[in-house]
A = this chain, B = another copy of it.
C-alpha cells in the first residue's frame, strides 16, 4: 500500500513536535513536510535535537503532495489557513479550537475573533473517536478536541448519555505545564511553576464551551451545566480530571458494581479508553494514547466521582489527531500509536 503523505503546519509548538515524533514512526505514513514561521529554513533537528534523525527541513509553507495536513497553528490563523487546503482536496485534522464549536457566535465570545468560515463549522467533525467514530471516517475536516475536554468528556459521557446524574457537573482538572505550550510566559517559567499548584480560568476557561457542547449533545434534557476549574501542577505532561456529579433519584441503586458495568460496556471496544479498577495516575499514561477512566460512587451522599487520566500531548492532542487520521484513511485505528507508557 502506498503510504499516506502527511504535513504538519506549525511544527514548532509542543503539539506540532509531538505530531512529528508520532508520524515519523508511523508505519503507514510518510511525513513529507513540516512548516514553521520563525524557524523556516532550519533543520527540524536543529530546533528539536530529538528529531535530528528525520532529516526534515522546516519550510514556510507546506511542500510536496499531501494527503492529510495537521494544523497546529494558533486559533484564527488555523481557520484561515485550513480553508485553502480543503479547497485543494487535502483532508485536515485541526489541532486548534477553530472548528470545535458548532456555533459561530461562540468564537467572538470565547476566542475574540469572528469566525472566517462559519459554514464549515457544521461540516467539521469533533474528533473524539469514542463518540463520533462513524462521522470521522468520512470527514474532510476533523476538529481535534482540546486536552481538558478529552479527559472531561470521556469521564462523564456514560453518566450523561444514560441520564444517571443531575446535569449540574463539576470538572476539576490538573494539568502538566506543557499544556500551556512552548510560548514563554511567567507562569510557565520554571522557578514559578515548580513547587506550585495554580488554579486559573475561574472566569471561564476556553475549553468550557467545548465540554458543555459535547455533553449537551449526549444529554436528553439538553440542560447540562458544567463548572470547570483547571489547575497547573509541576510536571511536564499529563492531565488528571476529577469529575463530580449527583446521582438522580432512583438511579444507580446497584452502586459501584452497576456503575462499573455501565462504564465497561460503554468503552468495551475502545482501543484507548480503558476503565480501570484502581484510581489511575497521570503517569500511567505517559507518552501513550491511553485514557484511563475510574468511576466511584458514594451511595450515602449520592455522589459519583469519576477520575480520568491522559497524556495531554498524546490522547490530549497529537495522538488523538493521529487516531483520527487512522480512522479517516481506513487504517487500523491503533497504527503508529502502539507505544506503551513510559514508566517510571
Which residues in A have some Cβ–Cβ distance to B below 8 Å?
A: 14, 17-18, 21, 24-25, 48-53, 168, 170, 172, 174, 176-178, 182, 184-186, 188-200, 202-204, 225, 227, 229, 231, 233-238, 240, 242, 244, 246, 274, 276, 278-288, 292, 296, 298, 301, 303, 305, 307, 309, 338-344
Contact = CB atoms under 8 A, between A and B. Distances in A.
A242 B236 contact: no
Copies in the complex: 4
21 contacts: A25-B339, A49-B284, A50-B284, A168-B246, A170-B170, A174-B197, A182-B344, A188-B190, A190-B193, A192-B283, A194-B234, A194-B344, A195-B235, A195-B237, A195-B286, A198-B240, A199-B240, A200-B279, A233-B234, A234-B235, A339-B339
Given A21-B340, A339-B25, A238 B191 contact: no
Contacts of A184: 184-186, 189
A196 B287 contact: no
Given A195-B286, A233-B234, A240-B197, A301 B225 contact: yes
* Prevailing SS type, chain A contact patch: mixed
A49 B278 contact: yes
Contacts of A343: 17-18, 21, 48, 50
A235 B279 contact: no
A174 B242 CA distance: 11
Nearest to A340: B21
Contact of A340 (B53, B178, B192): B53
Contacts of A234: 190, 194, 233-235
A269 to B, nearest CB: 15
B25 A340 contact: yes
Contact of A190 (B172, B177, B227, B298): B177
B174 A231 contact: yes
Given A234-B235, A296-B202, A189 B182 contact: yes
B14 A191 contact: yes
A191 B191 contact: no
A14 to B, nearest CB: 6
A170 to B, nearest CB: 5
A341 B196 CA distance: 13
Contacts of A198: 240, 279, 281-283
Given A21-B340, A24-B340, A340-B25, A194 B287 contact: no
A301 to B, nearest CB: 5
Given A236-B194, A246-B168, A282-B197, A227 B174 contact: no
